[in-house]
Amino acid sequence: MGTALLDRRDLDFLLFDWLGIEALFARPHYAEHSRDTVAAVLDLSERLAADAFLPALRASDRSEPALTADGVALAPEVTAAVRDYIDAGLLAGPFGQDVGGLQLPQLLHYASIGQFMAASLAVAAYPMLTIANARLLAAFGNAAQVEAFALPQIRGQALGTMCLSEPQAGSSLADIRTLALPDGEDALGARHRLHGNKMWISAGDHDITGDIVHLVLARTPGADGKPLPGIKGISLFVVPKHLPDGQANDIAVAGLNHKMGYRGTSNCLLNFGEGRHAPDGAGGAIGWRIGEPGEGLAQMFHMMNEARTGVGLGAAAAGCRGHLLSVEYARGRVQGRTAEGGTTRPAAIIEHADVKHMLLAQKAYAEGALALVLYAARLLDDQLSGDAGTAADAGRLLDLLTPVVKAWPSEYGLAANDLAIQIHGGYGYTRDYDVEQLYRDNRLNPIHEGTTGIQGLDLLGRKVLRDGGAGVAQLRARVEATVAASVADARLAPLARQLEATWQRLGAVVAELASAPAPQALEQATSFLRAFGHAVVGWLWLDMARLCAGDTAFHRGKRAAARWFFAHELPRAALWLDLAATRDDLIASTTQDCFHC
Amino acid sequence: MGTALLDRRDLDFLLFDWLGIEALFARPHYAEHSRDTVAAVLDLSERLAADAFLPALRASDRSEPALTADGVALAPEVTAAVRDYIDAGLLAGPFGQDVGGLQLPQLLHYASIGQFMAASLAVAAYPMLTIANARLLAAFGNAAQVEAFALPQIRGQALGTMCLSEPQAGSSLADIRTLALPDGEDALGARHRLHGNKMWISAGDHDITGDIVHLVLARTPGADGKPLPGIKGISLFVVPKHLPDGQANDIAVAGLNHKMGYRGTSNCLLNFGEGRHAPDGAGGAIGWRIGEPGEGLAQMFHMMNEARTGVGLGAAAAGCRGHLLSVEYARGRVQGRTAEGGTTRPAAIIEHADVKHMLLAQKAYAEGALALVLYAARLLDDQLSGDAGTAADAGRLLDLLTPVVKAWPSEYGLAANDLAIQIHGGYGYTRDYDVEQLYRDNRLNPIHEGTTGIQGLDLLGRKVLRDGGAGVAQLRARVEATVAASVADARLAPLARQLEATWQRLGAVVAELASAPAPQALEQATSFLRAFGHAVVGWLWLDMARLCAGDTAFHRGKRAAARWFFAHELPRAALWLDLAATRDDLIASTTQDCFHC
C-alpha cells in the first residue's frame, strides 16, 4: 500500500503510443537500442525507486543533513539510495558512448529518473544535478577537464553541483560578486583562485561520494585589476572539493539551510577561498575556467535549462504519486452515502462528485505536467539525433517551451499535491501520510532554478517577443495539426474548436504585445506565462485524447481528464490573455506607500 | 522587525468607517460601551498578541504537544500565552453580563481575537474553542450546567472542546457510533455514561487549566436497547475532564496527531469510557445531556457555526500577517534593476511588476477575507442587539454566508500565505522566516470544521436551493445598494457594472439550479461556492472602495486592491457559474476504473 510511483501504463502510453520512441531506434544515434531497452530500463528504475528511494523518503525528511567536523552527513538511507542508483549504472544512461555513456534516448532517461523523483525528490536531486553538471562539462570543457571532472561523475565517483546564487544575488545573477583571480595555466587549463560566498547550493556537501565537482560562476578582474562589470564579466569555473593531488580545496560549508521540505538534499552556504581549508599559502579555492572568458552565464544556462526541465519533471512526478495515493485512499475511505435506486448506501469517497472533480483535476494537472516534460525530452532527442532540419526545429521549440516546462509542472504538480491533502482530509494533514511531505517537498519547485515570475519574463521577453513571435508561430503549426486530426471525432470536435479559439486569441495578443512599449508589455508576463502554459497543456491533452478513442478504462480516464481540463482550466487562458493585453496604470500607480508601512 | 500583526489602520477603517461600530453603542444592549472601549480592547489585544502569542509561534511548532503519564504537556510558551489571555479577562469579552461577561460587540471581539490569531493560530485555538463551547452551554444548557460548566470557562478556570468526529466519521457526522447510556437524573440533569472514540479533538488535553469541558455528540439507545439510528438518534452531552467531586472522569488520551502545522494545538484521539480512568465500577465517562434528546446535531451547529467563523477569521488573520511580512521583506530586499530616466538602478523587489501583482493579490485576498469575516461579526451584532426585523434579516444573511465566511478565507488566506513564500523566494522556504510556518499552519483551515467541499454542499444544497433563492435575493438587495452608491464615481463605475453583471448571472444560475434535478445540481456545488464567494467578496471590495475616495496612501491602496481583484479574480466567477450551470455526463461517466487501479 502506498508504494505506487508513476503509473507504468501511462509511461508506456506516453513513450510508445504518443511520443513514438521506437522511431528513434531507426536513427543511427540510437540504433543500439530497442523496445527491449525501454522495458529493461523502466523495470529496473521502477524496482530500484521503490526499493531504495521510497524507503528514504521519510528518513530524508526527519533526519536532516547535519554539519559535522567532517562536513555534511546525510541520513544513511539517503546515502544508500544514491549509491544504489550509482551502482545500477544509471548515471551513465543519458551520456554518449564517447564519454562512457549508454547513449539512451533522453525520453527514456527522463521516464527513468522520473520514477526516482516520484519516490523522493530530495534524493533524486543528487543524480539529477550530477548528470546536468557532467553534461555541461562534456559540452564545454576541454579534454582534460572532461577526463578529470565529467568522467568521474558519469562513473559515480563524484557528484556535481551548480553554484550560481549568492546571498545578495538570487534571481539577479548579473549581480554576483565571487571573484576568480588568474593563477597561470596547467594541464587542466586556465587556473584561477576563487573567493566568495555561494548560497542555496543543493548537494553542496554530503557523504555520498568523497569528491564533489562544483561549477561556479565568478567574476574575473579586468586590466585595471577591478572586477569586470556586468554579465560579460562572468566566467564559469570547475572547482573540485579535492584537488588532483588529493588535497582538500579551499571550500568551506558555512551553514545549512533548514527548509520546509526537500530536506534530504543538503542546501549549503559555501565559502570559497576563505582560507580555512587552504591547501597552500596563496589562498583562494582553485578552479579552472571552462571555455572562454565572459561565457559563464551562457554556459551555465546549458545546465540551468536541464535543471529547469528536471524541476518540471520532479514536480510532475510528485504530483503523479500524490494522485495515485489519492485514488488509493479515495477507494478505501468510506464516508457518507450515495443514492442507489430509491435508497442510499455507504459510499467510498471516490463516488462523491466533489472527490471525482478533485481526482480529475489532479489527473489533468499531474499527467498533463508529465506529458509536457516528456514532450520536451522527445524534442531533446530530435535535437540530438534528428537530421539538421529536425534538430533545428526541435531546438527552437525547446528554447520556447523551457520556461513552461519548468513553471507549469511546478505550479500544477504542486496544486495536485495540495488536492491530495484535501482528498485525504485531516489524515492528509498529518505526517503519517506521504501526501503531507509530497506537498512540502514540491513547494520548492516554483522557487528554485528561477521563480515562476522569472520564467514569465524569460518566456515573454526573451522567447516570444525577441523573435517577433516566430517561435510561437512554429509551435502553432503543431497545434493546428492536432486540431485538424481531432475535429473528425465528434467527441473531440468541441475541444478542438475551443483549443483553436484559444490559440487564435493567443496569437492576436502576441502581435499586440510585440507592438507595445517594452516595459509595460512585461508587466503581465506572469499572466502571459499562465495563459501560454494552459494553451500548451490543453494542446497536449487533446493530442493524447486523440489517441485514446477506445473503451478501455485507461482510454476513458484520459478522455475524462482532457474534458475536465477543457471545461475547468482552459477557459482561464482567455482571462489571462485579457490581462496580458491590458494597458492600464494599475501597476505604475501602485506606489510602495500603497502598502502598509 | 517581523512583529506586525493586523494593520491597526485597517481595523479602525473596518470597524468605524465601514461597519459603523459606533451605531451599536446607541442600542441598549451595547450602551455601556463607546469608541473608547474599542480603542482600549484593540490596544490591549495588539500588545498582548505581540508580547505573549507571537513569541509562542515557533515554540509551538518546534516543541509539539507530548503525551506524558499526566496527560498532554504543551510547550511552556503556549501555556503561558493562553494564561496571559485568560488573566487579561478576554475570555469574558463576548459574553452577556448575565453570565459575567463584558458584553462587548461581537465585531470588537472578533477584531480582538483576530490579532491573537495573526500571532499564532495554534495558540489562539484554545480561547476560540472555549468561547464557542461556553456560548453553546449558555444558549442550550440548564442553569446548573451553565453554572458548573460555562462560567468556569468564561472565568478561565477550564477550557473547552468540541467532540464530533470519530475515526470512521469525519465529514459524515450522521455515522457516529459513540454511545451514551442513561444513568438517571441528578442536579446537573440527565446523566449518561459514554463509550466511544473521538478523533481530531483540538485542545482535547493540555496542561493550561486543570479542567476541560468536552461537548460530545453521542447516540442514545432506543426502547429496544439498540442505538437509535440516524441524525435523530444523536444527542449532545457535556463531559468534564473532572467530575464535580474532583475525581477524574473516564476519558483517556489514546494518541496525538502529528500535523503539518497548527502544532501547538494538541490534537487528540480521546477514548471515552474505556475504563482506564473509571471513577467507579460502572464504566463509561459521565456526562449530562444538554437540552432534549435528538437535538444534538442542531445544538452542535451553534458551536460549529461559530467555529467556522473562527476558522475564517484565523485564515484571514494569518493571510494578513503574511502580507505585512511580505511588504516588509519586499521593501528591504534589493534584487535586479529598474529603469529610471535613460538608465537603470538597483531596485527593491517591491518595485518589480510581478512582486506588485503578488502584493496586490495578497492584499485583495487577505484584507478581503478579513472584511468578510468582520462583516459576518457585524451581522451577529445585529442579530443580538437589533430590533426584531433587523435581527431576523441578519440571522438569515448570516445563515447564508456562514459557509462562505468559513471557506473563502480558508482558500484565499492560504493563497496569500503561499504568495508570501513566493515573495520571500528561497528564504521563504526556510524555517528561518515565519511565512514558512504561516503557510503550514493555515493549510489546516480548508479542512477542519467542514472541508471546502462540505461548505459547497451546505451553501448550495441547504442555504441557496432549499428556500428557492430567497436568501440570495435578500443579499442581492444589499449588493444593489452598493452598486447604486458607486456608479456616480467615475473610477468605480466600471467595477460597479462588472459586479452587477456578475450578480445577474449568479441570479440566473440559481434559478436554473432550483429547477434542476437535485443530485446533479449539487455535482458542481464547489464551483458554485467559489463563484458565490468571489461575488460576495467583490461586493465587499467595491463597498470598501466606495469609502476610500481620498488621495491618502491608505485609500489609494484599498482602491488598487479592489481594482486588482476586479481585473484578476472577479472574472473567474463567470467561469465557475458556467460550470455550476453545466449539465453533462462527465461526473456520472467517470467511473472508479477511470483512475489507476
Q: Which CATH number is B135's domain given?
A: 1.10.540.10
| Same domain for B66 and B13 | yes
| Same domain for B118 and B43 | yes
| Same domain for B233 and B211 | yes
Mode of pairing for the β-strands spanning A234-240 and A285-289: antiparallel
By CB atoms closer than 10 A (0-12, 13-18, 19+), residue A477 is exposed
B431 touches chain A (CB under 8 A): yes
Per-residue pLDDT of A275-287, as tens digits, reads 754 556 678 999 9
Per-residue pLDDT of B258-275, as tens digits, reads 999 999 999 999 999 987
Does residue A169 or residue A16 have the better pLDDT?
A: A16
Per-residue pLDDT of B77-121, as tens digits, reads 999 999 999 999 999 999 999 999 999 999 999 999 999 999 999
A428 touches chain B (CB under 8 A): yes
What string of DSSP letters covers B205-256? S-SSSSEEEEEEEEE-B-TTSSBPPSGGGEEEEEEESB-TTSPBPSEEEEEE
User: What distance in Å separates the CA atoms of residue A592 and residue B352, rounded to the nearest whole number?
Assistant: 11
* Residues of chain B positioned with their CB less than 8 A from the CB of A575: 571-572, 575
* Residues of chain A positioned with their CB less than 8 A from the CB of B432: 257-258
- What pLDDT band is residue B224 in, cutting at 50, 70 and 90? very high
Per-residue pLDDT of A127-167, as tens digits, reads 999 999 999 999 999 999 999 999 999 999 999 999 999 99
Mean pLDDT score of chain A, rounded to an integer? 96
Helix or strand (DSSP H, E) at B542: helix B525-546
| Same domain for B182 and B77 | no
Question: Which domain range does residue A254 map to?
Answer: 160-294
User: What distance in Å separates the CA atoms of residue A277 and residue A69, rounded to the nearest whole number?
Assistant: 12
Residue at B20 is within a domain: yes
Residue written as cell 456608479? B487
Query: So what's the pLDDT on residue A276?
Result: 58
Question: Which B positions 324-343 lie with beta carbon below 8 A of chain A?
Answer: 324, 327, 331, 334-337, 339
B579 touches chain A (CB under 8 A): yes
- Rounded to 5 degrees, φ, ψ at A154 are -65, -35
Residue at A15 is within a domain: yes
Chain A's closest residue to B173, CA to CA, is: A336
CB B130 within 8 A of CB B101: no
**Average confidence (pLDDT) over B553-573:** 98
- What pLDDT band is residue B315 in, cutting at 50, 70 and 90? very high
| Same domain for B219 and B130 | no
Pairwise CB contact (< 8 Å): B260 & A4: no
By CB atoms closer than 10 A (0-12, 13-18, 19+), residue A3 is middle
| Range in A163-172, A437-446, B423-432 with the lowest mean pLDDT | A163-172
Q: Which CATH number is A190's domain given?
A: 2.40.110.20
| Same domain for B37 and B131 | yes
Cell of A255: 551553514
Pairwise CB contact (< 8 Å): B597 & A259: no
User: What distance in Å separates the CA atoms of residue A493 and residue A506, rounded to the nearest whole number?
Assistant: 20
User: What distance in Å separates the CA atoms of residue A486 and residue A410, rounded to the nearest whole number?
Assistant: 29
| Same domain for B274 and B206 | yes
Chain B's closest residue to A356, CA to CA, is: B587
User: What distance in Å separates the CA atoms of residue A316 and residue A414, rounded to the nearest whole number?
Assistant: 8
| Same domain for A222 and A128 | no
**Average confidence (pLDDT) over A48-57:** 97
| Same domain for A229 and A116 | no
Query: So what's the pLDDT on residue A342?
Result: 83
Cell of A187: 594541464
Spatial neighbors of B387 by CB under 8 A, at least 6 apart, are none
CB A238 within 8 A of CB A141: yes
Pairwise CB contact (< 8 Å): B257 & A426: yes
Query: So what's the pLDDT on residue A467?
Result: 83
* Residues of chain B positioned with their CB less than 8 A from the CB of A366: none
Residue at B342 is within a domain: no
Q: Which of B278, B294, B310 is the C-terminal boundary of a domain?
A: B294
Per-residue pLDDT of A521-562, as tens digits, reads 899 999 999 999 999 999 999 999 999 999 999 999 999 999
Pairwise CB contact (< 8 Å): A327 & B595: yes
User: What distance in Å separates the CA atoms of residue B597 and residue B591, rounded to the nearest whole number?
Assistant: 12
Per-residue pLDDT of A291-336, as tens digits, reads 999 999 999 998 999 999 999 999 999 999 999 999 999 999 999 9
pLDDT of residue A373 exceeding 70: yes
Mean pLDDT score of chain B, rounded to an integer? 96
Mode of pairing for the β-strands spanning B189-202 and B179-186: antiparallel
Chain B's closest residue to A338, CA to CA, is: B519
**Average confidence (pLDDT) over A237-249:** 96
Question: Which B positions 361-400 lie with beta carbon below 8 A of chain A?
Answer: 363
| Same domain for A181 and A151 | no
Q: Which of B294, B324, B342 is the C-terminal boundary of a domain?
A: B294
Q: Which of A140, A158, A176 is the C-terminal boundary of a domain?
A: A158
User: Distance of CA B456 to CAs A302, B462, B527, Å?
Assistant: 48, 10, 8
Question: Which A positions 247-266 lie with beta carbon below 8 A of chain B?
Answer: 257-260
By CB atoms closer than 10 A (0-12, 13-18, 19+), residue A364 is buried
User: What distance in Å separates the CA atoms of residue B422 and residue A54, rounded to the nearest whole number?
Assistant: 28
- What pLDDT band is residue B596 in, cutting at 50, 70 and 90? confident
pLDDT of residue B150 exceeding 90: yes
B391 to chain A, minimum CA–CA distance in Å? 34
Per-residue pLDDT of B333-387, as tens digits, reads 999 988 888 888 999 999 999 999 999 999 999 999 999 999 999 999 999 999 9
Of A171, A357, A567, Cβ closest to residue B336: A171
* Residues of chain A positioned with their CB less than 8 A from the CB of B456: 354
| Same domain for B576 and B469 | yes
pLDDT of residue B145 exceeding 70: yes
Per-residue pLDDT of A68-124, as tens digits, reads 999 999 999 999 999 999 999 999 999 999 999 999 999 999 999 999 999 999 999
Residue at B378 is within a domain: no
* Best CA proximity match to B579, nearest among B539, B520, B536: B520
Residue at B593 is within a domain: no
- What pLDDT band is residue B281 in, cutting at 50, 70 and 90? low
Residue at A593 is within a domain: no
Of A346, A519, A560, Cβ closest to residue B594: A560
* Residues of chain A positioned with their CB less than 8 A from the CB of B519: 339
- Helices A470-486, A525-546: inter-axial angle, 10-degree rounding: 30
Query: So what's the pLDDT on residue A473?
Result: 93
**Average confidence (pLDDT) over B192-216:** 97
- What pLDDT band is residue A515 in, cutting at 50, 70 and 90? confident
Query: So what's the pLDDT on residue B282?
Result: 72
CB B308 within 8 A of CB B431: no
Residue at B82 is within a domain: yes
Mutate to test the interface with B, among A268, A340, A344, A354 (most CBs of B within 10 A): A354
* Residues of chain B positioned with their CB less than 8 A from the CB of A579: 567-568
| Same domain for A563 and A468 | yes
B596 touches chain A (CB under 8 A): yes
pLDDT of residue B284 exceeding 90: yes
Residue at B374 is within a domain: no
Per-residue pLDDT of A176-235, as tens digits, reads 999 999 999 999 999 999 999 999 999 999 999 999 999 999 999 999 999 999 999 999
User: Distance of CA A219 to CAs A55, A564, B334, Å?
Assistant: 42, 50, 20
Chain B's closest residue to A320, CA to CA, is: B596
Q: How many separate domains does chain B show?
A: 3
Spatial neighbors of B587 by CB under 8 A, at least 6 apart, are A353, A356, A357, B523
**Average confidence (pLDDT) over B566-590:** 96
- What pLDDT band is residue B328 in, cutting at 50, 70 and 90? very high
